[in-house]
């Protein structure tokens, strides 16, 4: 037990100097306390050994030090503060304000501040301009609307409704509680407004999702001649990101430049996020390059923004620069990089991230665990994914869905069914993506009856409305099993209009089983669709003709594609070399060593032709 006594309480010296008075020595001792336990021991010592010493001044010091000390791992003890405060005959409003402020800083229930506010009124004290903001802040933290409204009435009655600091806190309180009508009324009745007033009101509208109203308030602020600062711009730029309003975002950026506002790390991060979400990656990169100071959020915003745009190779390049600059990455960074690795099939890079996670003691659970699992599955390393899955202590619907979809894609349908059964036993409710995985698994494993049952359960048990992916999987399930007529009937009975995904699934099955008649009927329906013509359907039908040696029909179909300006999407492949992923498309010559690559391909082609002649 921590103690400040040398041997016993009686031997503790309360004087540092022979000339010091007992009270001044006690005050000096209280001020030199290094922990709350020491403060309590001194308090106990005073009660036991010095009953004649006037306690008003000493208790005031104890309360002040206990409430204001933020060092030495000292968190204010609200119960102790209350017990000492009740022993004072004539506490001052300043002392109550100190205690009220401590409640906001502490980890205790902020509504204790409201209880102490009531207590000070019982003792006949009058709140001042410092009291109301402290208590309002506590109500704001707890979104305690009723208590805050009572405070508002007291503010009005006691004549503080014109105090700018109190007004700003009232606007913030109503905004955090989602009562923007109240915030607007306080704002409208205020005769004095500063930048904080305007920014608080704008922030309130943004938090409520009223982005247009928040922007309109900003324009009103500009008309009054109030100049925005960096904090105001962060609020507005973040709203632009949610609105996906690129033009407004550019105007705000120009406002910053025109008014010479600093491109600090917070504004820069908001701009990067806004430009990414509004679809202008080039401007995001420009802001990123111009930022004088970057933090981990800056790098994460670039990486995740590129990931969301499908620019996985660029995102990995940014991550490489991040490593080269010695920036310490966090869990958000790792999840973004694993997402890139999953979509690019960059197994070595993903394996490196896994090693980093293990080496640095990062828990492969939650978001990181799910990202690792997804990466291994998409890279075809099923055993590694299963190992990650088994080690995860906290599994959610995303975890199980990633396992089921991954196993289905990798052709292990029966194992996916086992995982789904395990998921049901844990009580985790499957979602629509889970059922897409289950139907895919049944399709690849030839489990027709099971797949039909899952489709019915999805609708009747979990009330999930089938989407085009579910219908496409069911058609694929029946088609792979050779039940082409049943698949056609299933499409005819669909509650929604079939699209290219559904027709394409049946066309693929027709090609597999060589059924040209059903394929022709499906192709006719594809042509009749109002939506954009799907090049995949034409390619499947053309291949179906070719597989049946109907070259003339295949040629006519290709001609029709050309007449209708239907172009086949070029094939794409990627390869990972030394942790770097290279992506190639048909006829692509953008690679810096494209000339050498094509020369090597020509050489390989010649060797293959020579080997064919030798065999012949």
Q: Which long-range contacts (CB under 8 A, 24 or more apart) does 293-296 make?
A: 293/264, 293/265, 294/265, 294/268, 294/327, 295/265, 295/269, 296/327, 296/328, 296/329, 296/330, 296/332, 296/333
Position 415 confidence tier, pLDDT thresholds 50, 70, 90: very high
**215, 191 contact by CB (below 8 A):** no
Which DSSP state fits 329? P
598-611: buried (b, 16+ CB within 10 Å) or exposed (e) per residue? eeeeeeeeeeeeee
What band does 216 get if pLDDT is binned at 50, 70 and 90?
A: very high
Which of the four pLDDT bands, split at 50, 70 and 90, describes residue 231? very high
How many Å apart are CA 196 and CA 327, to the nearest integer? Answer: 34
Assess whether pLDDT exceeds 80 at residue 80. no
- Higher pLDDT: 552 or 382? It is 382
Q: How confident is the model at residue 92 (pLDDT cuts 50, 70, 90)?
A: confident
Compute the average pLDDT of residues 510-533: 70
- Share of residues in the chain with pLDDT > 90 (%): 47
pLDDT of 495:
81
* pLDDT at residue 140, as a whole number: 87
Q: Between residues 410 and 541, which one has the greater pLDDT?
A: 410
Mean pLDDT across 364-382: 93
In this prediction, residues 204-215 reach a mean pLDDT of 94
Stretch 457-486: mean pLDDT, rounded? 91
How wide is the angle at C-alpha 242 spanned by C-alphas 290 and 369, nearest 5°? 85
Predicted pLDDT at 110: 61
Max mean pLDDT among 108-112, 202-206, 346-350 falls in 202-206
Top-confidence residue, 367 or 6? 367
**pLDDT score, position 18:** 45
Helix (H, G, I), strand (E, B) or coil at 91: coil
Interatomic CA distance for residues 386 and 388, integer angstroms: 5
Average confidence (pLDDT) over 8-13 = 39
* pLDDT of 501: 75
Region of poorest pLDDT, from 27-36, 202-211, 348-357, 376-385 = 27-36
514 phi-psi bin (left φ>0, alpha ψ -120 to 50, beta other): left
- Return the closest-CA partner of residue 69 out of 42, 31, 109: 31
Average pLDDT estimate for 3-30: 51
Portion of the chain with pLDDT greater than 70, in percent: 79
Give the pLDDT of residue 591. 65
User: What are the residues facing 575 on neighbouring strands?
Assistant: 582
Least trusted range by pLDDT, from 18-27, 362-371, 499-508, 586-595: 18-27
**pLDDT tens for residues 549-586?**
677 766 776 776 666 665 555 556 666 565 556 666 66
* Distances from the Cα of 132 to the Cα of 77, 175, 182, 261, angstroms: 22, 17, 17, 33
CA distance 306 to 281: 8
Could you read off the pLDDT of 101-155 as tens digits, one per residue?
877 766 556 667 788 888 888 888 888 888 898 889 888 888 888 889 999 999 9
**In angstroms, what CA-CA distances link 163 with 137, 150, 157?**
16, 17, 13
Q: What is the pLDDT of residue 73?
A: 45
**pLDDT at 395 > cutoff 90:** yes
- Name which of 120-124, 359-363, 486-490, 572-576 the model is least confident about: 572-576
Cα separation, 45 vs 55, whole angstroms: 13
Higher pLDDT, 44 or 444: 444
Identify the residue with better confidence: 533 or 314: 314
Between the two ends of the chain, the Cα-to-Cα distance in Å is: 93
Contacts of 14 (CB under 8 A, 6+ apart): 22, 25, 26, 29, 45, 50
Name the token pair of 261. Answer: 């506002």
pLDDT at 428: 93
Name the DSSP class of 173.
H
Per-residue confidence at 72, pLDDT binned at 50, 70, 90? very low
Which tokens is 520 given?
Answer: 């022709």
Q: What is the pLDDT of residue 134?
A: 87
DSSP label at residue 209: T
For residue 243, pLDDT over 80 is answered with: yes
């Amino acid at each position: 037990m921590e103690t400040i006594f040398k041997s016993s309480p009686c031997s503790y010296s309360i004087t540092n100097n022979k000339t010091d008075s007992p009270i001044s020595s006690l005050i000096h001792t209280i001020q030199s306390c290094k922990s709350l336990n020491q403060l309590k021991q001194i308090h106990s010592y005073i009660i036991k050994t010095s009953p004649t010493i006037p306690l008003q001044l000493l208790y005031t010091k104890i309360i002040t030090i206990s409430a204001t000390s933020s060092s030495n791992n000292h968190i204010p003890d609200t119960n102790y503060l209350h017990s000492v405060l009740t022993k004072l005959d004539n506490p001052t409003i300043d002392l109550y304000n100190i205690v009220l402020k401590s409640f906001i800083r502490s980890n205790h229930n902020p509504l204790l501040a409201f209880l102490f506010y009531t207590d000070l009124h019982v003792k006949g004290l009058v709140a001042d301009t410092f009291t109301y903001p402290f208590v309002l802040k506590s109500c704001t933290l707890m979104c305690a609307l009723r208590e805050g409204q009572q405070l508002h009435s007291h503010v009005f009655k006691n004549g503080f409704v014109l105090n700018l600091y109190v007004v700003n806190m009232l606007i913030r309180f109503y905004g955090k509680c989602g009562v923007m009508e109240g915030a607007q009324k306080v704002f409208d009745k205020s005769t004095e407004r500063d930048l904080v007033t305007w920014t608080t009101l704008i922030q309130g509208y943004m938090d409520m999702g009223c982005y247009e109203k928040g922007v309109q308030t900003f324009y009103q602020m500009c008309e009054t001649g109030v100049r925005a600062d960096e904090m105001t711009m962060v609020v507005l730029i973040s709203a632009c990101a949610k609105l996906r309003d690129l033009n407004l975002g550019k105007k705000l950026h120009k406002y910053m430049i025109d008014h010479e506002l600093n491109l600090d790390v917070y504004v820069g991060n908001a701009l990067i996020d806004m430009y990414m979400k509004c679809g202008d990656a080039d401007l995001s990169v420009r802001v990123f390059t111009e930022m004088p100071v970057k933090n981990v959020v800056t790098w994460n915003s670039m990486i995740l923004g590129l990931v969301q745009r499908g620019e996985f190779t660029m995102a990995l390049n940014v991550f490489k620069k991040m490593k080269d600059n010695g920036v310490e990455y966090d869990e958000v960074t790792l999840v973004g990089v694993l997402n890139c690795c999953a979509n690019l099939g960059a197994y070595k890079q993903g394996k490196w991230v896994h090693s980093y996670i293990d080496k640095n003691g990062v828990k492969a659970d939650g978001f990181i665990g799910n990202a690792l699992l997804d990466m291994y599955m998409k890279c075809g390393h099923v055993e590694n994914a299963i190992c990650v899955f088994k080690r995860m202590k906290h599994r959610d619907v995303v975890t199980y869905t990633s396992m089921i979809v991954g196993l289905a894609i990798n052709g292990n349908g029966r194992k996916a069914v086992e995982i789904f059964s395990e998921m049901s036993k844990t009580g985790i409710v499957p979602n629509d993506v889970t059922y897409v995985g289950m139907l895919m698994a049944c399709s690849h494993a030839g489990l027709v009856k099971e797949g039909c049952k899952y489709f019915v359960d999805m609708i009747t048990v979990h009330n999930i409305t089938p989407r085009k992916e579910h219908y496409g999987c069911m058609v694929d399930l029946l088609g792979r099993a050779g039940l082409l007529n049943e698949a056609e009937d299933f499409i005819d009975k669909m509650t929604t209009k079939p699209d290219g995904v559904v027709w394409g699934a049946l066309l693929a099955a027709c090609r597999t089983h060589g059924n040209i008649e059903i394929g022709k009927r499906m192709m006719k329906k594809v042509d009749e669709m109002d939506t954009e013509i799907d090049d995949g359907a034409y390619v499947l039908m053309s291949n179906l003709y070719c597989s049946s040696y109907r070259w003339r029909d295949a040629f006519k179909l290709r001609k029709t594609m050309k007449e209708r300006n239907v172009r086949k999407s070029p094939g794409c492949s990627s390869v990972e070399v030394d942790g770097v992923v290279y992506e190639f498309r048909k006829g692509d010559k953008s690679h810096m060593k494209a000339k050498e690559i094509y020369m090597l391909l020509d050489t390989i082609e010649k060797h293959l032709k020579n080997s064919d002649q030798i065999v012949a």
